[in-house]
Structures are given as structure tokens and as C-alpha cells.
Amino acid sequence: MGVTTEEYVGKSSSCKALTIESSWGASAKIIEYGARIAELYIPDKDGNIADIMLGLKDLDEYMDDGANHGAVVGRSANRIANTRYEIDGVKYEAPNNDFGNNLHGGSPSYQNVFWDSKVISSAEANEIIKASGISGIVDVEGDAVLLHYVSPDGACSFPGNLDSYVLYGWLKDRTLLILYKATADKKTIFSPTNHSYFNLGGHNSGYVGNSILQIDADKVTKKVKACPNGEYIDVEGTIFDFRKGAPVSQVLTLDNEQTHDSLGIDQNFCVNGERGKFNLVATLKDDRSSRVMEVLTDMPGLQIYAGNHLAGNNQKGDIPYKQYGAICLEAQMYPNAVNVPGFESPLIDAGKTAYHVCGYRFS
């Protein structure tokens, strides 16, 4: 167990890549650009190891990446309707980068900047987890990686300097933990997520529609022009009912008004579980290997996206990824929550520190 550091080089820039080893053969490579997971090697029950994280060839490709492969996204993940929002009576307008909406902030945001990184001990990592006050997280088993970035006042319209940290580490129960921490000097949005593209059969193994997905959610947020407006859809009797487990292909359809314009699933599930706890909210089982991945979080939403627009020839290993060749399970605050009073607020007060966590547990 430990962390190895190397230079991650592009044609015009370079950064550090830090590989976190586990005690059971798994490893995660984190790069400073976008605080991204670039590789995630996971053994199956027979000990065969595969990289289950879709990604790009090199740093240059990541710096030109509009799909946010493996990135920490924020400070405002997902969409803000009509690009506009209000905080304490002050009106703001974020960049229009998604057909009249704002998606993931813009530039500069967490996903397209260089973070500073350092290796910390398990004791230091466990102290950060303890300080979060989020219950149900077991101890980190070895050295971890802590990344730091200050999102400046006015970035993408968002008020206040947001002193931000991301912690990556392997827990003793085979969970890759992602912990977000931020302190604001003005009231602002703090709503991060991780935009990893998973394929449990291996990053180059293609269609994920036959994988079995279970989600502990009784409703999804209804989209109007890609954004929730405060209404919900009960999953009972719909394509969104994954409570007992169903193939991902169930939502890879254009015959539903919620999936038609997005060319397949791109929906926020309202997951059950207590806030302030590390809740098990979803399970993904691969149909080709024995790998199982569970998703745990303290956050109220889980965005499911199945690579509906995934295509191109710049992928690692020169593998041409195709539509529906991966699935994102993004623990998050609800999209457009800053504009919907009934949604849990994504705001953080001046002088306050907030935490969120997401974990991917493997078996």
C-alpha cells in the first residue's frame, strides 16, 4: 500500500500523476489536471485485473476534453436553468454553454484547472473524514492523495473565493473514497461531483446495456429543457424503476420524453438515505465479468448517464469508444437546485466549511 508519483506529460504542459495502491490489488491513478481519475485497475474474482475507467491518451487530450473524463466537476456541477440564479437578492448569470442552460460551470472550473497535490498518511486522511461529521465511513487503509485549488471570486459568475480540497483514498472495505471539502468567503454554490465513466468489463469492452443496475430511489426529478423544475416522476411502472435491479438498456431508449432529447438516460435519481450518512444508494453488476461496484454517498442525488454522446478516436490505448460504452454514476446535489426552493440547497455560507463524499466499493 502506498502512493507512487510520476510526471504526466503533454506537449505544452505537465502535471503530477499519483497512483494509490490498495492492499488487494486495485489501484487508482489521479492526475492534477481536473483532479481526475485517469486509471482504475480492479481485479475480478479470479484475480484478473482490468482498467475499468474510460479515459484519454495524454494530458493534451484531457485539456481539450469536453466530456470531463474522470474529473471532479464544480463548483457547480450539472445544470442551471437559463443560466440565471439568485443568492440573497443578488442576480447572477453563468455562461450559456448548454443550449440556453449552464452545464458544470464553464471555465475556469474544477474540471479544467490544475490542482496542487500531496500525499498524506492514513492518519491524516482519517482526521479529515472525522472532521466532515459524515458517519458510516470506515478508515483509510494506507497513504492517500489530497488535492487543493482555490476557485476565484467571480469564476463563471460564482461569488466568493472557494477554498477547495479533494481527498482520494482506499478504505479498508475496498471503497475508493472521494471526499470534497470547501470553505467560502462569500455565500456561494458548492455542488461538486465526479464525472467518471465506468465499464466494469474493462474500459475497452463496449456496450454496457446488459449490466444490471440497482438504485435505491423511488422518484426522479422531471426535466424540462434538460433541467429539473421542481416536479418529480414516481419510478413505479416506468423505465426509471431500478429498485429491484434491471439492465441498463432499460433506459437506453428514445421513446420516453425524458430520454429522447438526451439520446438515452441523463437523469437525476432522488436516492433514499439520511443526510450526513454514507449511504449505499446504487449497485452495478457487470454481465461479462464478476465485478460488482456499489455507490455510496451523503448526497441526495445520483445522476445516471450512459455515454450517450461518447465517441471518438482519442481514447487511451487507441480504443474508439462508442455510444453507451460506459456509465456515469454521479453523486450530486439536485441539478438546478439553486433555483428550486423545494430542493436541498447547494449554497454554502460565508466563513463556513462544507463536506460531501462519494465512494465506489468493489467486490
Q: Which domains does the chain have, with CATH numbers?
A: 2-196+343-362 (2.70.98.10), 212-327 (no CATH)
| Cβ atoms of 180 and 202 closer than 8 Å | no
Cα dist from 342 to 92, 232, 303, 337, whole Å = 20, 11, 18, 8
pLDDT > 90? residue 181: yes
Beta bridge partners of 269: 220, 302
| Cβ atoms of 309 and 234 closer than 8 Å | no
Q: What is the pLDDT of residue 319?
A: 80
Separation of alpha carbons 227 and 232, rounded Å = 12
| Cβ atoms of 219 and 235 closer than 8 Å | yes
* Cell numbers describing residue 68: 470531463
Q: What is the pLDDT of residues 110-167, one digit of tens each?
A: 999 999 999 999 999 999 999 999 999 999 999 999 999 999 999 999 999 999 999 9
DSSP letter at 340?
Answer: -
Single out the residue of 146, 174, 193, 139 nearest to residue 40, CA to CA: 174
pTM of this structure: 0.98
What CA dihedral angle connects 121, 124, 125 and 130, to 10 degrees? 160
Separation of alpha carbons 221 and 218, rounded Å = 10
Q: What is the pLDDT of residues 46-71, one digit of tens each?
A: 999 999 999 999 999 999 999 999 99
What is the SS3 assignment for 73?
strand
* Cell numbers describing residue 35: 483532479
Phi, psi of 355 (to 5 degrees): -130, 150
Name the band, by pLDDT with cuts 50, 70 and 90, for residue 313: low
As a whole number, the mean pLDDT across the chain is 97
Name the band, by pLDDT with cuts 50, 70 and 90, for residue 317: confident
For strand 227-234 and strand 217-224, is the pairing parallel, antiparallel, or unpaired? antiparallel
Cell numbers 461518447 label which residue?
310
Q: What is the pLDDT of residue 140?
A: 99
pLDDT > 70? residue 286: yes
Separation of alpha carbons 88 and 160, rounded Å = 13
Beta bridge partners of 247: 212
Separation of alpha carbons 1 and 177, rounded Å = 15
